[in-house]
């Protein structure tokens, strides 16, 4: 396979950010005397943006639009102050990115995390690797909408079929399919191989080194 560019999801693909996200949201829940959730439960709350995470974490009886907005604001404030406290790259990711850069393969991040937070994490954890790190700035354009992915490929002057899209969720695979890019699922994140394949993954890898071998 010959690909000239790769777009990566962030959470669950490049970095394990589960604990920082969960800690920030659980702090909001505790302050309101609402039930908190384990890290295992939070892995199913992640992937569609922080608003979705907040919505899923709140008790159904207190899940009004007004309450979601209040809790989202509190959660984002707490999370933005500690978004790289426990967040770390997955095993082999730095080596993978170094390999791609050395071979002049273009790489970018496209996440449903807020744009400011996506850029902050990318700049702190991957300061020398990425052409672009794009997060969510307009709700209507979040994944699986392919608009931003296609925008990246245009900036690279690449056709969509020359771009691989790597992610750990059904939403990432759907984004790749919608953009006519090559969908690759990773199993070290928050979703299963079965879910990735059912959502359109043409390839599923279990380690970062497998991706190097394939390329």
Instruction: Identify the CATH number of the domain in which residue 102 sits.
Output: 3.40.50.1000
CA 72 to mean position of chain CA atoms: 18
The pTM of this model reads 0.89
Does the pLDDT at position 174 exceed 90? yes
Does the pLDDT at position 3 exceed 80? yes
Sheet holding 182-186, edge to edge: 132-136, 106-114, 5-8, 163-167, 182-186, 203-205
Does the pLDDT at position 67 exceed 70? yes
Counting residues of the chain whose pLDDT is more than 70, the rounded percentage is 99
What are the b/e assignments for 165-189, b being 16+ CB within 10 Å?
Answer: bbbbbbbbbbbbbbbebbbbbbebb
Does the pLDDT at position 16 exceed 70? yes
Does the pLDDT at position 49 exceed 80? no
User: Residues 116, 117, 122, CA angle at the centre, nearest 5°?
Assistant: 105
Q: State whether 98 and 76 are in the same domain.
A: no
- pLDDT of res. 1: 64
Q: State whether 143 and 189 are in the same domain.
A: yes
Average pLDDT score, the chain:
94
- State the Cα torsion 212-176-53-11 to the nearest 10°: 20
Token look-up 């959660």 returns 75
- pLDDT of res. 66: 93
Counting residues of the chain whose pLDDT is more than 90, the rounded percentage is 85
More confident residue, 48 or 177: 177
What is the residue range of 28's domain?
A: 18-81
- pLDDT of res. 214: 85
What is the mean predicted confidence (pLDDT) over 38-66?
Answer: 89
What is the mean predicted confidence (pLDDT) over 134-155?
Answer: 95
Q: Which one of 60, 81, 102 terminates a domain? A: 81
SS3 sequence of the chain = CCCCEEEECCECCCEECHHHHHHHHHHHHHHCCCCCCCHHHHCCCCCCCHHHHHHHHCCHHHCCHHHHHHHHHHHHHHHHHCCCCCCEECCCHHHHHHHHHHCCCEEEEEEEEEHHHHHHHHHHHCCCCCCEEEEECCHHHCCCCCHHHHHHHHHCCCCHHHEEEEECCHHHHHHHHHHCCEEEEECCCCCCHHHHHHCCCCEEECCHHHHHHHC
- pLDDT of res. 151: 97
The number of folded domains in the chain is: 2
Residues 50, 209: Cα–Cα separation, whole Å: 30
- pLDDT of res. 43: 86
CA 204 to mean position of chain CA atoms: 16
- pLDDT of res. 46: 81
Report the range out of 39-53, 174-188, 201-215 with the highest average pLDDT: 174-188
- pLDDT of res. 62: 82
Q: State whether 176 and 166 are in the same domain.
A: yes
Residues 172, 177: Cα–Cα separation, whole Å: 9
Instruction: Identify the CATH number of the domain in which residue 31 sits.
Output: 1.10.150
Q: State whether 196 and 168 are in the same domain.
A: yes
pLDDT tens profile 72-128: 999 999 999 999 999 999 999 999 999 999 999 999 999 999 899 999 999 999 999
Q: Which one of 46, 81, 116 terminates a domain? A: 81
């Amino acid at each position: 396979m010959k690909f000239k560019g790769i777009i990566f999801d962030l959470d669950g693909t490049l970095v394990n950010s589960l604990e920082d996200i969960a800690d920030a949201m659980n702090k909001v829940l505790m302050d309101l005397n609402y039930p908190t959730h384990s890290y295992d439960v939070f892995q199913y709350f992640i992937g569609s943006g922080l608003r979705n995470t907040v919505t899923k974490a709140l008790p159904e009886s207190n899940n009004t639009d007004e309450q979601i907005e209040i809790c989202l604001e509190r959660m984002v404030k707490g999370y933005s102050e500690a978004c790289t406290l426990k967040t770390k790259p997955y095993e082999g990711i730095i080596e993978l990115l170094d390999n791609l850069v050395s071979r002049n393969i273009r790489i970018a991040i496209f996440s449903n995390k807020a744009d400011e937070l996506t850029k902050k994490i990318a700049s702190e954890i991957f300061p020398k690797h990425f052409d672009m790190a794009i997060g969510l700035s307009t709700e209507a354009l979040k994944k699986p909408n392919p608009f931003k992915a296609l925008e990246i490929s245009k900036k690279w002057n690449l056709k969509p079929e020359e771009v691989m899209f790597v992610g750990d969720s059904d939403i990432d695979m759907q984004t790749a399919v919608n953009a006519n890019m090559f969908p690759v699922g990773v199993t070290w994140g928050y979703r299963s191989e079965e879910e990735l394949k059912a959502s359109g993954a043409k390839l599923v890898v279990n380690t970062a080194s497998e991706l190097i071998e394939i390329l």
